[in-house]
Structure formats: C-alpha cells, structure tokens
Amino acid sequence: MKIKFLMAGLLGLSSVVAFAQKGEVSNAQEQFTKYESLRGQKAMDKIGLESLTSAKTSIDKASTNEKTMNLALTQSLKGCIYGAFALKDTVPETSTPLFTTADEALTKAKSAEASEASLKGDDKKVVDRLIESGSRTLAQYQLNKGIKEFQGKKYDLAYKSFNYYRTVLPEDTNAIFYTGLAAGYAKLWDAAITNYEKLLTTGYSEKPRAYQDLSNFYLDKATKQDTATALKTLNDASAKYPNDANINSRLIQFNLQMGKQQEVLNKIESTIASDPKNKILYYYAGITYTQVSESAAKSAVKEKDPTKLAALKKTKDDNQTKAVNMYKKALEIDPNYFEANLNLGYVLLTPAIDLFYAANKIDVNKQKEYDAAVAQANTMFEAAKPYLQKAVDLKPNSIDALTNLKTYYLGKKDMVHANDLKKQIDALTGGAK
C-alpha cells in the first residue's frame, strides 16, 4: 500500500510540474500580448518592457521542460519574444545572439506545427499569427541591420541582410529593391539582375529608374550576351515610357557608346520629319549632338597629329552648334521645357568656360590678347545666362541648374552671386558640394 501511495504521489507531482510549465507558456503568451498592445506608446515603454521581460522569464522555463519545449506554441512565442528583444537592442554584439535564438525558435515552431496533429482550429491560428509576427520582427531587424551595413559600404553584408528581409516579405517592393541594389553594389550581378527583373513585375513606383539600373547590371556583368540584353532592356523601357527623359537619354548614350551615333541621329531625324511639333525629339537630338561633340573634345585632348586634331575640333564645334539649334527648336515649342533650358545653358556655357581657362594661361605680357579672350568669353557667358537662369526659375531646387548658374557667376568673377548659389546648393545637399 505504501508503494502504491508513493507511486500515486509521484504521478501527482509529475502532473503538477507539467501543469506549471503549461502555466508558464500561458503566462508568456499573456505577457507578450500585453507587450504588443503597449508597443509604440512611449508613455507605456516601461510597463511594456516589464511585460516582455516577464514573458521571456516564463518562455525560458517552458522551453527547457521536456513537456512543453517542443510545442509549436512554445517555440513561436520564444521566437516572437527573443525577436522583440533583438529589435530593441541596437548593439550588434548583444542583439545578434537574440536574433539567432529567435530565428532558430521560429524554424522549430514551423516544424512542430506541421507535426502536431492536435494543433487545429483556433490554436493553429494563434501559432500561425505568432510565426508571422515573429518573422516580420526578424525581417525588420535585418532591414535595420542592412541599412547600417549599406551606409557603412559593407555591401556584401547588406545584401545578405536585405535578402533575409526579402525572403520573409517576397512581394514587398522595398525588400526586392534593397536586395537588388545591395547586390549591385556588391557586384553580385546575377542576384542584382534577378531581383530587378522581379521588381519590374511588381507595382514598384520607380520602374523607369529600375530599367536603367537593370541595364547597367547587364553591362557590368560584361558578356556579349549581357550587352545585348542591356540594350533590349533599355529599348523595352523606352517603349513603355516613351516620354521619360532619363531612359531615352541613357538609350542614346548606350547606342553612342556602341558606335551607333549616326543610327541614333537617323532615327531621331526621321521621327522629327513625321512629328515636327514633338519637343522631346528635338531635345534628344540635342543630347546626341552634345555627346558627339563631347566625345570629339575628349579625343582631341590626347591627339597629337595636327590634321586629326583639327578634324576633331571641327567635329566638336559643328555638333555643338547643331545641339544648340536643336535645343532652341525644342524651346520654340515649349519655352518652359526645363531639360532643354538646362542643357542649352550648359552647351553654351561649356565653350565660355574653355575660353575662360585658356585666357588665364595667356602670358602676362600679352595683355591685349588676354583682354580680347576675356571679352569673348564674357560674350559667350552672357549668351548662356538666360537659359541658365530660366532653368533655376523653373526648378529652384535642381542641383544641376544651380551649379550651372554658379559656374556662370564664377566665370564672370561675381563672387557675391556665386557664393549665394553655393549656400543654396549646400542647403540642399547638406554641404556635399
């Protein structure tokens, strides 16, 4: 009888212990729910932290007891609780172990949920919600971590962090964009391309820019096939966004880099013939002529042969004149066309700057030659000013427009206005320029 009584006592004690541990799971759930309800309320931060700490104490006990440690509810709660602590901790050395524990717990919770036959109905919904909540918390942790890594130029680490974030939220456009962008900076071209191609199938709001980035990734991957795909990407983008100046400018630039200058011009000029009132066509023609001129100018710097040098200078000047004419035609159609004003001002400003620097290199004994060069440069500066000023008037916060106008005043040696513009630029860029 004594033996039977002893056995009954042990069984009773075992039941009490199991009940106590299930009580710890319940307390952890209750306290975590309380923490969630208080989260985001600054006045309740202290109470919320107390609830979260209490939840952690209970879940630590439950997760070490053989009766409750492998339950989906236990592990999903543990993932949520440790994830919350990891997200609150801004020190990598202490937050990383918390994150790892949370990640492992959620993995166990998913496995346990699949194997627990008794987990049905409302109980399963609770576990599902906890797993989703915990996963989102860990995704946020990785997002925050990735941003810091990206800002610190640790692009390979940022890619891994953003990729974790993306796996939790596979359709989130920011998650896809950040992952692809970090992959590009880390020179992981295949990963960058995969994510950007996915991005273009979503409702992402900056698709024109995404097309440009994707074409650049193909170019950086640098195979013959990838170069062809880059061109196709830009052509697809141009077809979908025919009025996007950046895409078409990039397409023109790309074709020019491939030596297809005349092909580009032929296409633009033939289109102008059928659509003579389309200001954008004149604008793109201006860009093309500008790039041909700039390409000739760069080649002229290195050229030693007098005959070839003269030919390059002629190409530069002729195409510069053609660019000016095209931009002016665009402005005849729309005087408030910002990009045309900006580029025309720049094209007229460039030779003035060249002459300005050339004048400063004239021997001090050649005063008349110097005076003549300065006078000519001033005339050229003045020709550019109306367009430079108009661009600023149209977009007062454009760094390019402000910088071009500042350059004009520097050329005119008007330091008062130049310094005023510098202050405006600094205010917009945080002193970066």
Reported as a single tens digit per residue, the pLDDT across 207-237 is 988 988 998 898 888 776 778 888 888 888 8
Domain boundaries, the chain: 20-142, 345-433
Give the mean model confidence (pLDDT) for residues 282-288: 89
Reported as a pLDDT band with limits 50, 70 and 90, residue 302 is: confident
Q: How many CB atoms lie within 10 A of CB 386?
A: 13
pLDDT reading at 16 higher than 60: no
pLDDT, residue 1, reads: 43
Q: Which fold has domain 345-433?
A: 1.25.40
Q: In this prediction, what percent of the chain has a pLDDT beyond 90?
A: 49
Place of tokens 């030779």: 351
CA–CA dist 149, 147 (Å, integer):
5
**What's the pLDDT score for residue 8?**
42
Give the residue, 341 or 40, on which the prediction is more confident.
341
- Contacts of residue 207, defined as CB under 8 A and 6 or more positions apart, other chains included, come to 199, 200, 237, 240, 241
Contacts 24+ apart (CB under 8 A), 64-68: 65/17, 65/18, 65/21, 65/24, 67/17, 67/18, 67/21, 67/22, 68/18, 68/21, 68/22, 68/24, 68/25
